[in-house]
Amino acid sequence: MSEVINAFLNDHLYAHIIIILLCTAALIFSMGVDLYFGVQKAKHNGEATTSTGLKKTCDKARKYFSPFLCLICIDLIACIIVPVPAFSMLWCMYCVYCEFTSVREKAWKKAELRKAEKTMNVVIENKDDIAKLVAELLPKHRKSMKILIDNGHGVNTAGKCSPDKTLREYAYVREIAECVVKELKAQGYDAERIVTEQTDISLGERCRRVNNICSKVGTKNVLLVSIHVNAAASGGKWMTAGGWAAYTSRGTTKADALATKLYEAAKVELQGYAEAMERGKKSGAYGSVQKPYRTDYADGDPDHEAGFYILVHTNCPAVLTEKLFQDNKADVAYLLSEEGKAAITRLHVNGIINYIKG
């Protein structure tokens, strides 16, 4: 989450704040120059310098800064989709131009300022409509994210099933992946599976498909979640390991924030599973050290780090999820239940959407 916030600050907010501060300094400086030349003109003409001139300057500052503050708010709201504080810059340039003209012509263009004021008053009076428009634009921007779902393995992959063969990993993850994509699309998001074939597609080809999409729509507009089912051993025996986990590539990356959102969703959607695991420890279905959410906080976030090929060789943020254990009898029963399928689907959908929303 902190990485997403830092990225937002570095990519959008800091630049806007710096430009707005420069505009404010330019506006104050131009007013100071105009005041100075106004005093000099009064002295040259032998006119008395009274507080009236300062009052006019204060009144002028109010006329400048009231609309300016309103436009700053609008620019900050729209900073995600507009690269610069355009409204504030335009108003500042207009005010500086008026001050420059005032210095040269030795007169304040009251008519022009009143006209500008009327225009800005219209903006201020309709600020709620403008804010609503910006709010409507932001979800559209977020929903432009391309969501790629990978389902692991294939019908021709050896092993990768429960000891009693009731759960075949390739079939199960394809079913879940299809449900995730369907639900994301129903909520207006652009999602697709990168492997629709039943056979196992090489990791190199999977990465090529992902990176090809990244090159078309931009890496920052793509994310990948690869769906798998875990296993404690490969000997075809029932084991006592359990729990849900997510993996990212090593080091600090944007995928960490996505994995964190998935963990947060898992803690909500898998509450029933977590309670069942505690009961299962008493019956021996799970080992005493097993946890419903398998985490590794060594680097400050809950996800595990690994050099899995699809995480290392794709250009976009990528997370690999392991949905419980296919060689644990209790886990298999939960995964194959309608309750389990629905929970696994929801945690992926909600985790992804919460990441996109930030």
Residues pairing with 325 in the sheet: 230
Per-residue pLDDT of the chain (358 residues; tens, 9 = 90+): 566 556 555 656 777 788 888 888 888 888 888 777 777 766 666 655 555 656 677 777 888 888 888 888 888 777 767 778 888 888 888 888 887 777 665 444 444 555 666 776 776 777 677 766 655 554 444 558 999 999 999 999 888 999 999 999 999 999 999 999 999 999 999 999 999 999 999 999 999 999 999 999 999 999 999 999 999 987 689 999 999 999 999 999 999 999 999 999 999 999 999 999 999 999 999 999 999 999 999 999 999 999 999 999 999 999 999 999 999 999 999 999 999 999 999 999 999 999 999 8
Which listed CATH number (3.40.630.40, 1.10.3720.10, 3.30.300.20, 3.40.50.11740) goes with 143-357?
3.40.630.40
Tell me, what DSSP letter sits at residue 219?
A: G
Under a CB-based contact definition with an 8 Å cutoff, are residues 166 and 210 in contact?
no
Count, residues in the chain: 358
Domain boundaries in the chain? 2-138, 143-357
Alpha-carbon distance 239 to 229, whole Å? 14
The model carries a pTM of 0.63
Alpha helices in the chain (DSSP H): 2-8, 14-44, 51-77, 86-105, 110-125, 127-142, 169-186, 203-217, 255-269, 271-283, 309-312, 329-336, 338-357
Q: Across the chain, which distance is largest between two alpha carbons, in Å?
A: 104
* CA–CA–CA angle 180, 184, 190 (5° rounding): 120
CA distances from 197 to 2, 32, 201 (A): 38, 71, 8
Alpha-carbon distance 84 to 88, whole Å? 9
Least Cα distance to 65 among 40, 38, 34, 31 occurs for 31
